[in-house]
Structure 1
Amino acid sequence: MVKRQLPNPSEILELMKFKKFELNSRKRRLDAALTIEDLRQIAKRRTPAAAFDYTDGAAEGEISMERSVQSFQDVEFHPSILNDVSHVDTTTQILGGSSAMPFGIAPTGFTRLMQTEGEIAGASAAGAAGIPFTLSTLGTTSIEDVKKVNPEGRNWFQLYVMREREISYGLVERAAAAGYDTLFFTVDTPIAGARLRDTRNGFAIPPQLTPKTILNAIPRPWWWWDFLTTQKLEFASLSETGGTVGELLNSAMDPSIDFDDLAEIRKMWPGKFAVKGVQTVADAKKLADLGVDSIVLSNHGGRQLDRAPVPFELLPEVAREIGKDVEIIIDTGIRNGADIVASLALGADFTLIGRAYLFGLMAGGRAGVDRTIAILSEQIERTMKLLQVSSVAELNPSHVTQLRRFSRDGQLDGANPRTDLS
């Protein structure tokens, strides 16, 4: 029989540990966010539907986006044992420079629409964390202003080739003059993808006040206050701002761009040159033969061609074919530091985060971006320690198995759901 006694008041008092209440509501909600999904839920509560869905959504049935996220979840790790991981080194070299973490911030358009601090928050947070920041052609902060808030950090510029070539050439010259060290030549956007959430929401730049948007704004007055009391929302690099996203992209982008355009821009650019939006092994090999510095395996976050290849699934084969000749960067679907570790193990040299960064921005401005970086950094370090690797360079295909729901020929792979691509 268990001997029982009356509770001892002094022992009860020892158990009563009350956490000091945080008066700052922004810090309180960000401190409570332990994952990127937590930040996403905060962002959804605080941001009007049209702006949130622009970030959260993808093209048509959103199949590419869902598959990209799922592919990271379908991973099995294989830890080593008895290795000293009292300290892990997360630094890596990419495109001629160093990064404190093996990820950087991807280019995102219309960023001040999500939260008014926009690219200023992203660039300053990236600089403080020692990771690269990429500014989009469709950014809402100028090339020069991003440089001002991240003067010592690594700034990269993502280029769309416009119908009016002189606009693109001018952006290249401005980015070079401002000291950006890398140009991302984007190849997956001849026209805009069919982003149906945007169409259904009547999403436009700038946002339109309609009965629907006004009703949606009622529980989110802070967002509208920020929007209406800060600088007008417009593109920093383009003069045309009115219309839906599809209309703006289709009026600006040129579906006739080809390898001659790539060669022309490359001649103009003095720094490192990466090609973003590569989705086949053949194209990766062709670009490697042309001597580009890096390729970015990306399906544009699932926002262009739905059912496009999943970059993480494509990665091992590309790494085998060209990994020694060109640096490989991967994006799309990354929601956890473990996704980044898996990518490095299967041959990526670096990764980019887009939605994860924007969820943090919408959840809390600059502090929210800091929280995104902190969450992913903690997850990377923890995953590496549990794998018992002490540096990024130690990661290799033996640490990861990709569990396949479907084989590459499209047939259900029920007999062998585990496919080790190492």
Structure 2
Amino acid sequence: MVRRQAPRPAELRELLQLKRPTFDARRRRLEAALTIEDLRRIAKRRTPAAAFDYTDGAAEDELSLKRARQAFRDVEFHPAILRDVSHVDTSTTVFGGPSALPFAIAPTGFTRLMHTQGEHAGAAAAGAAGIPFTLSTLGTATIEDVRAANPHGRNWFQLYVMKQREISYGLVERAAQSGFDTLFFTVDTPVAGARLRDTRNGFSIPPRLTVRTVANAVPRPWWWVDFLTTPKLEFASLSSTGGTVGELLDSAMDPSITWADLETIRSMWPGRLVVKGVQTVADARQLVDHGVDGIVLSNHGGRQLDRAPVPFHLLPEVVREVGRHTEVAVDTGIMSGADVVACLALGARFTLIGRAYLYGLMAGGRQGVDRAIEILAGQVVRTMKLLQVTSVEELGPQHVTQLQRLVPRRLPGGDRSPI
């Protein structure tokens, strides 16, 4: 029998310890976010549909993005036991320099559209966290502005080779003069992908005030107050800003770029040259033959060719083929620190986060980016401790299995299906 007694006042006082309320609404909602998906939900509530969907969406049926995210869900970890993991080291070196965490902020375009602090918030947060920040050719802050926001950290520049070559060449020179140490030559955007959400939303740069956008703005007045009371939203590196995203990309990008353009940029750039948008083993081999310093396995976050290869699926084979000769990084679909750890275990030197950072930006500006990095960093540490490894260098294929869902169909005779 359980002996019952009257509650004692001292015990009740211990149970009734009330948490001090947080009156800062932004801080309160960010502290309540425990995952990147939580930040995404906050971002969706606080951002007009066209801007949110530009970030959240992908090309056509969005199969590439869905498959990339599913690939990380289809991971099985294999933890060791009885290892001392009271301290773990998340730092690494990549592309000739240090990073406190095994991920960087990826290049994103039109970033001030998501929040007026834009790249300034991203660069400053990256510098504070000791990780690299990557500025896009289609960014809304200048190379010099990013340098000012992150004066002591590592800054990288992502380059599109455009029809007007002198614009691209000028950006390369400015990035070098501003101390950017790595250049990402992006090769998966000869033309714009069909981003149907943007078309359906009538999304344009700058945003147009229509009946639909005004109606969507009514429950989000803070976004429009920020937008209308801060400097005009425009590209920092391009003079043309009018039209849909597809029209802008198609007018600027050059579908005729070749390996010769890679050699030209290589001759101009004094730092590390990394090619972003690699999607086959054969191209990875050829890039190594051309002497690049690194490659990023990426399908542009699913925003270009729908049904493109899943970078995470490609990773083990590419690392086996070229990992001894160049550094391999990966992006697309990364939404947690566990995803980052899985990539490192399969041989990636580094990872890049795009949407995860932008969800934080939309949820709370600079503080939201800090929170996104904090969430991912905490997940990286926890996953490493549970796997019982003490450094990113200890991670290996023995720690993770890619479970099979999409398996190539084989024709009679054993040949792989072309489909």
TM-score relative to the length of structure 2: 0.97
Q: 1:235 corresponds to which residue?
A: 235
* Residues 319-363 of structure 1 deviation map (CA, whole Å, 9 limit, x = unaligned): 000000000010000000000000000010000000000000000
Residue identity matched to 2:236: A
* Residues 260-314 of structure 1 deviation map (CA, whole Å, 9 limit, x = unaligned): 0111111000000000000000000100111100000000000000000000000
**Structure 1's 225 and 410: CA in aligned 2 closer, same or farther, altered over 3 A?**
farther
Q: Distance in 2 between matches of 1:342 and 1:145?
A: 34
Cα deviation for residue 410 of structure 1 reads 7.4
- Comparing 9-18 with 218-227, greater Cα deviation is found at 9-18
Q: Distance in 2 between matches of 1:132 and 1:106?
A: 9
SS in 1 for 2:329: strand
Q: Distance in 1 between matches of 2:409 and 2:281?
A: 16
SS in 2 for 1:184: strand
SS in 2 for 1:124: helix
Q: 1:249 corresponds to which residue?
A: 249
Q: 1:372 corresponds to which residue?
A: 372
Q: Distance in 1 between matches of 2:191 and 2:216?
A: 30
Q: 1:49 corresponds to which residue?
A: 49
Q: Distance in 2 between matches of 1:313 and 1:130?
A: 29
SS in 1 for 2:266: helix
**Does 2:149 correspond to 1:149?**
yes
Structural mapping, 1:181-330, within 5 Å: 181-330=181-330
Aligned identity (percent) is: 73
Residue identity matched to 2:314: L
Q: Distance in 2 between matches of 1:92 and 1:409?
A: 39
Q: 2:396 corresponds to which residue?
A: 396
**Does 2:114 correspond to 1:117?**
no
Residue identity matched to 1:103: F
Q: 2:100 corresponds to which residue?
A: 100
Q: Distance in 1 between matches of 2:336 and 2:404?
A: 19
Residue identity matched to 2:398: S
SS in 2 for 1:158: strand
Q: Distance in 1 between matches of 2:96 and 2:238?
A: 30
Q: Distance in 1 between matches of 2:13 and 2:130?
A: 44
Q: Distance in 2 between matches of 1:144 and 1:12?
A: 59
Cα deviation for residue 409 of structure 1 reads 3.3
**Does 2:178 correspond to 1:178?**
yes
Q: Distance in 2 between matches of 1:151 and 1:83?
A: 39
Structural mapping, 1:15-164, within 5 Å: 15-164=15-164
SS in 2 for 1:205: coil
SS in 1 for 2:377: helix
The alignment's C-alpha RMSD in Å is 0.9
- Comparing 329-338 with 14-23, greater Cα deviation is found at 14-23
**Structure 1's 278 and 4: CA in aligned 2 closer, same or farther, altered over 3 A?**
same
SS in 1 for 2:295: strand
Equivalent residue pairs, number: 411
Q: Distance in 1 between matches of 2:350 and 2:327?
A: 8
**Does 2:204 correspond to 1:166?**
no
Residue identity matched to 1:355: R
- Comparing 21-30 with 2-11, greater Cα deviation is found at 2-11
Cα deviation for residue 152 of structure 1 reads 0.8
- Comparing 274-283 with 401-410, greater Cα deviation is found at 401-410
- Comparing 16-25 with 196-205, greater Cα deviation is found at 16-25
Q: Distance in 1 between matches of 2:15 and 2:39?
A: 31
Q: Distance in 2 between matches of 1:28 and 1:231?
A: 28
Q: Distance in 2 between matches of 1:119 and 1:26?
A: 19
* Residues 127-171 of structure 1 deviation map (CA, whole Å, 9 limit, x = unaligned): 010000000000000000100111110000000011011110111
* Residues 83-123 of structure 1 deviation map (CA, whole Å, 9 limit, x = unaligned): 11111011001000000000000000000000000000000
Runs of 5+ in structure 1 lacking a partner? Answer: 412-422
Residue identity matched to 1:15: L
Q: Distance in 2 between matches of 1:83 and 1:347?
A: 22
Cα deviation for residue 13 of structure 1 reads 1.9
- Comparing 13-22 with 61-70, greater Cα deviation is found at 13-22
* Residues 159-209 of structure 1 deviation map (CA, whole Å, 9 limit, x = unaligned): 001101111011111111111000000000000000000000000000010
Q: Distance in 2 between matches of 1:312 and 1:406?
A: 13
**Structure 1's 314 and 410: CA in aligned 2 closer, same or farther, altered over 3 A?**
farther
Runs of 5+ in structure 2 lacking a partner? Answer: 412-419
